Every structure is written in C-alpha cells, then in structure tokens.
Amino acid sequence: MNIAILVKLVPDLVEELTIDTSGVALDTAWLRLIINEFDDHAIEQGILLKERGGGQVTVVAPDIEGVDDVLFTAAAKGADRLIKIKGDFTGVNNHALARAFTTVVKELQPDLILTGVQANNDLDGSVGPLLAGCLEMPYVGYISGVSLTEGKSKVRKEYPGGLIAEMDVTLPAVLGIQAAEQPPRYVAVSKVRQMMKTSTIEERAESGLDMAGGPTIGRMFQAEAGQRATMLTGSPDEVATKLVGIFKELGVL
C-alpha cells in the first residue's frame, strides 16, 4: 500500500493575527506558521495504516517557511519519503495548491491519499476534495477511522451528534481526516534532529500556480465581537467571588 499524505502550513491561532496594509490579507511578517492540525491527524492515520498493513508513506508539502521541520517531524514519526514542492506559495489559495499537489500525486501513483479535512485559512474549499476533483478520484471527508482491504477502504465518516456512517470507498481515493484513530504521536526533538541528518527531502518544482476558482477578497478584518463579554478583573479570589455572585443571580446556587 502506497500512501501519500498532503500537508499545508497555517497561521498559529495562539499568536496575534493582524491584517496587512493591503487590507485584504493577513500580515505574514509576524505570522507564525504551523502544520494544519488536521494534517497532523492525517499523518498519524497514515502511519497507523502502515504499521498495521505495511506499505510506504510519502509526505508532501509546499515550500513554506517551517516546512523542513514539519517534514522531518513526519519522518521521525515513521514517514518513508519526504517531498517539498518548490515555489513561491505566499498568498496562494487552495485551488492552486491542489493543482500543485496533483502533479506530484500523479508521479507517486498512490493507492490512498490522506489530507486534513480542512484548515483554518481555507477560503476556497479544502485541499482534499479539490485534489480529488483534479485527479477524478472519489473523496470522503470528516473521517475518524480507516481500514484497508484489497482495492478498497472502509472509512468511518462523522455526522453531528456522534453518529458514524461506515462507507466503502474504492481506491485510489482521497480521504479528509478529521481525527486519527489515536492522538498524533509525540516525537522527541532529538529524534527530529537525527532525521535532519539521516533523511533527505526530495524537491519538485511547481508547474505554474493557477489560482483560478478562488474568490477575490475585497476586505479582511478582525472579527470584532458584537456584544463583548463583561470582563471580570482582579485577583483570583476577587474573580471567584464575582463568579459566585453571578451563579447566585442565575439561580444555580
């Protein structure tokens, strides 16, 4: 089983986000980029499948600051091949990214393609189903479990309220991972450093980043809270006292 996992980097939401002077994009100067957390789950799911049934796992990512770390971390978790797509991906939308991934995936000819179900900066759909469109493969998202048999996969697709639909998906297919069957494993920094010495990142050139299919943004702005919460300040003791007052007022104490 040949598994390709496509990852992208997204803004770390813990950091302060600001809009740049154009008014239509995030200010990238201060932006800290991290792996999309659902892509991290896709990596975990891919490695679990390899551990269970054998095969080769290839992780592919666009050349964005921080990508080497992401790829070497994947190698430390058990990925066999690492591929970086070279090019200027600043401000590139998912349509262009999916097209760039398509070229590499066609070369790899995987049986199964995994990617995170969505990413926090998606504005033109998500990479997985766009890629499936480019490759004319089936796509199923919101996945929290995958098992493989010859030429087929059985997936657990999530619906609201904890309802699961088990679906049979003919391979090759693209799956949008919501959660791996177990939390993404932790790897020690020392192991990642070791990978930097022992594994290599293959490079591919992007073949023209075509953004057609995404919207044009006229204005980007901070979500200003409509009615912002009444903020309780003071020492922990004072805040706790105020909260108890509120609990009483609301009749739960």
Partner 1 sequence: MNQNIYVVIEHLRGQVAEISYVMLAGARELAKGLGGNVIAVLLGHKAQELAGNPSASSGKYLAADSVLYIDHPALADFTSDAYQKALTNLIAKDQPRAVLFGSTSIGTDLASTLSIKLGLPMVSSTRSFSADGKFVSQICGGKIMAEGGLPSPTALVTMVPGGYKAEQGQSTQAPAITQVEVPVLESLRVTLANYIEPESGDVDIAKEPVLVSVGRGIQNQDNIILAEDLAKALGGAVSGSRPVIDQGWLATSRLVGKSGKSVKPKIYLALGISGAPEHVEGITTSDTIIAINTDPAAPIFGVAKYGSEIDMFDLIEILTEKVKQSKGG
Ligand X SMILES: Cc1cc2nc3c(=O)[nH]c(=O)nc-3n(C[C@H](O)[C@H](O)[C@H](O)COP(=O)(O)OP(=O)(O)OC[C@H]3O[C@@H](n4cnc5c(N)ncnc54)[C@H](O)[C@@H]3O)c2cc1C
Helices (H), 54-126: 67-77, 94-108
Q: Is 178 a binder of ligand X (CB under 6 A)?
A: yes
Instruction: Tell me how far the alpha carbon of residue 247 is from its chain's centroid.
Output: 39
Report the amino acid identity of residue 30.
W
Show Cβ contacts of residue 189 under 8 Å, excluding neighbours closer than 6 positions: none
Separation between Cα atoms, residue 159 and residue 73, nearest integer Å:
31
Cα angle 221, 7, 31 (rounded to 5 degrees) comes to 35
Using CB under 8 A, which of 42, 140, 146, 148 touches partner 1?
140
Using CB under 6 A, which of 105, 117, 146, 169 touches ligand X?
117
Q: Which of 161, 167, 176, 163 is nearest to 38 (CA)?
A: 176
Q: How far is the CB of 48 from partner 1 (least distance, A)?
A: 14
Q: How far is the CB of 171 from partner 1 (least distance, A)?
A: 9
Q: Point out which span in 65-73, 169-177, 187-195, 198-206 binds partner 1 (CB under 8 A).
A: 169-177
Closer to ligand X by CB, 198 or 233: give it: 233
What is the total residue count of the chain?
A: 253
Using CB under 6 A, which of 118, 135, 148, 175 touches ligand X?
118
Near partner 1 in 87-126, by CB under 8 A: 94-95, 98, 117-118, 120-126
Q: How far is the CB of 250 from partner 1 (least distance, A)?
A: 6
